[in-house]
Amino acid sequence: MNDSKNRFGRRHFFKTAGLALPLLAGAPGALAAGANDSAPKPAGNSRARELAADLIIAGGGLGGCAAALAAARNGLSVIITEETDWIGGQITQQAVPPDENKWIETFGGTQSYQRLRTGIRDYYRRNYPLTEKARADLLLNPGNSWVTRIGGEPRVALAVLYEMLAPYLGNGRITLLLQHKPVSAATRGDRVEALAVRDLESGHEIVLRAPFFVDATEQGDLLPLTQTEYVLGAEAKSDTHEPHAKDKAEPHNLQGFTFCYAMDYLAGEDHTIEKPSDYAFWRDFIMTTDSAKKPYRFLSFEEADSKKIGFDPQARKGFWTYRRIADRDLFAPGFYGGDLTIVNWPQNDYSFGLICDVSEAEAKKHLDRAKQLSLSLFYWLQTAAPRTDGGTGWKGLRLRPDVVGTEDGLAQYPYIREARRIKAEFTVLEQHVTTEARMQETGLPKNEVRAAPFADTVGIGCYRMDLHITTTGDHGAYGSTLPFQIPLGALIPQRVENLLPACKNLGVTHLTNGCYRLHPVEWNVGESAGTLAAFCHAQKKTPREVRAKPELLAALQKLLRNDGVRLEWPKEVGPV
């Protein structure tokens, strides 16, 4: 097994082998990223392998998997590329249990997303020694966590995603290229013609051709490669007229990212790690932001919300249960030595620099610092965190690299909250989704007001407009939001005809990204993008034409409904 390092600097365990591909065609030469009117060619003099499909999807996260399933279900051949060893994005390689709306068990997401959730529960029932009570619980939450109704191990979600993809991997309708990263693209006029991806193990490049492309990467990597116009950071109030927008645009103002990790607690044992090299810096660091009432230490529970929640792995309280993915009481006695929990807390949000649209060296510097922050938090918890009994530290805390599939115990990929966003035909604004703005717009009371209706809806979502601390120190939830729709116009770039977003890169703003970035919404965006690609392929139309012609839009919406994509919320659903 070749367990070579990926770009985040650690070797992965349990490598899933990529597919052996035939040498089809190619020519010598090199392609500049985003070059126009030319075909991608490999670096050097080797001949490139070429593959063709009806749809190319870059990124195997939740949006990418949903897009592939929808496209394959509707008859397209699909190639998915994924930079890491694992598909699944947020829920697997980034180790983030689902953040969802309170109606997700019934009508709060697409039927295929609900099948994913049901599949996770069924996987536990088939393969884990649950107690009889837990096994009988129709709404089984393996972690018994309170941030999500379905906290479970990343590897279980990975297995279920493969189960969902299996029929199409088996019949060849979907081809999956793991550890392949987009490096260049060819465009002609307003169309993308080809994408070159590099095998991160061998260094070889493959040229991928298709009539349609989907960008499901975590940071919108195809947008600069294809010269698709995009926005980064915070918009100016003069552009969006959003109540909480900035007076001037701030392209470098993005939400922080996080290297999550898994840990358990074994009382009476000592699993203290070597002191991280940057520990002294983070231990003494004082956070000061405009939104904080007073400065507070980063490695602490001094901040008001954190102090209220607290942390106690022995009593199994506070942050310990927040994102817990295995509650040992739900399983046969002794099956788990201790609970398993994920650390994705305010204390390890990294907002001290960008990893998007900067040099490779600059990105690496901040990725390394973010890892040091997460490891420093863990070491602080082991050695210096205050205990309710007057002591300090919990030496029995143990990193679980096996749970996340790495050597260093950190997730395979950072949890990305904000990315490049297309300049779309339609952009979702704060005034479309917040309770306060909609009340002012409509004059309706809070119990009657609804989010702005979109005639071109292709899905639904709901989450508060939650912005974690940003690179300029902003932090806030900006009031309650209303259950919203996903407009087709937000999936269509202003100029490019055959590239669709399927992650956090749709037409939203810095603010509304805060409620459109979560697991079920990303899945819905991807599923709708995959269905749209299939519909356009069958009708020989562009996405722009579909949106512009009422009969085509109605036919697309009928197809989405038939496939289990809900396009509107029940009338009785109110604000969150």
Domain ranges, ordered by start, for the chain = 1-235+428-576, 257-404
Q: Which residue has the higher pLDDT, 526 or 32?
A: 526
* Tokens standing for residue 501: 């977003």
Cα–Cα separations (whole angstroms), residue 43 to 2, 205, 268, 355, 457: 23, 8, 55, 25, 43
Give the pLDDT confidence score for residue 303 in this predicted structure: 85
CATH annotation of 1-235+428-576: 3.50.50.60
Backbone angles phi, psi at 312, to 5 degrees: -155, 100
* Whether 378 contacts 272, CB under 8 Å: no
Contacts of 273 (CB under 8 A, 6+ apart): 375, 378, 379, 382, 399
Cα gap 559→556, rounded to integer Å: 5
- pLDDT tens, residue by residue, 329-354: 999 999 999 999 999 999 999 999 99
- Cα dist from 315 to 147, 268, 310, 435, whole Å: 18, 14, 11, 38
| Count of residues making up the chain | 576
Q: From CA 281, how far away is CA 400, in angstroms rounded?
A: 25
Among 27-36, 350-359, 461-470, the least confident range: 27-36
pLDDT band for position 571 (50/70/90)? confident
Looking at this protein, which amino acid is placed at residue 172? G
Q: Which amino acid is at 392?
A: T
3-state secondary structure of 298: coil
User: In the prediction, which pLDDT does 40 show?
Assistant: 58
Nearest to 12 by CA among 96, 84, 114: 84
Q: Minimal CA–CA distance to 126: which of 91, 97, 156? A: 156
| pLDDT classification of 33: cutoffs 50, 70, 90 | very low
**Separation CA 496–CA 486 (nearest Å):** 20
Of 173, 216, 210, 161, nearest to 73 (Cα)?
A: 173
Least confident of 11-15, 63-67, 115-119, 199-203: 11-15
Cα separation, 511 vs 223, in Å, equals: 20
Question: Token digits for 421?
Answer: 């966003």
Tell me the per-residue pLDDT of 111-159, one tens digit each, with 9 for 90 and over: 999 999 999 999 999 999 999 999 999 999 999 999 999 999 999 999 9
Burial-class residue 183 by CB neighbours within 10 Å (0-12, 13-18, 19+). middle
140-to-2, 123, 133, 150, 329 alpha-carbon distances in Å: 37, 11, 10, 7, 13
Collapse the DSSP code of 243 into the 3-class scheme (helix H, G, I; strand E, B; otherwise coil) and give the result: coil
**pLDDT band, residue 288 (cuts 50/70/90):** confident
Mean pLDDT of 273-280: 98
By percentage, how much of the chain surpasses pLDDT 70?
Answer: 90
Residue 206 bridge partners (DSSP): 49, 197
CA distance 540 to 538: 6
Listed residue (129, 94, 4, 144) closest to 403, CA to CA: 94
With 70 as the cut, is the pLDDT of residue 242 above it? Answer: yes
Looking at residues 100-118, what average pLDDT do you find?
96
Residue identified by tokens 């069958």 is 538
- Residue 20 has a pLDDT of 31
Closest to 380 (Cα-Cα) out of 297, 477, 292: 297
Q: List residues bridging with 181 in a β-sheet.
A: 198
Q: What pLDDT shows up at residue 213?
A: 99
8-state DSSP, 346? G
pLDDT range class, residue 208, cuts 50, 70, 90? very high
E strand or H helix that includes residue 534: helix 519-539
Secondary structure E strands in 24-179: 49-52, 55-58, 78-82, 174-178
* Dist CA 115 CA 199 (whole Å): 32
Angle between helices 519-539 and 550-562 (to 10 degrees): 120
d(CA 398, CA 19): 35
**In the prediction, which pLDDT does 502 show?**
98
pLDDT tens, position by position, 160-203:
999 999 999 999 999 999 999 999 999 999 999 999 999 999 99
Using pLDDT thresholds of 50, 70 and 90, give the confidence band for residue 41. low
Q: What is the DSSP code string of 324-343? A: EEE-GGGBSTTSSSS-EEEE
Question: What is the signed CA dihedral for 159, 164, 168, 170, rounded to 10 degrees?
Answer: 40
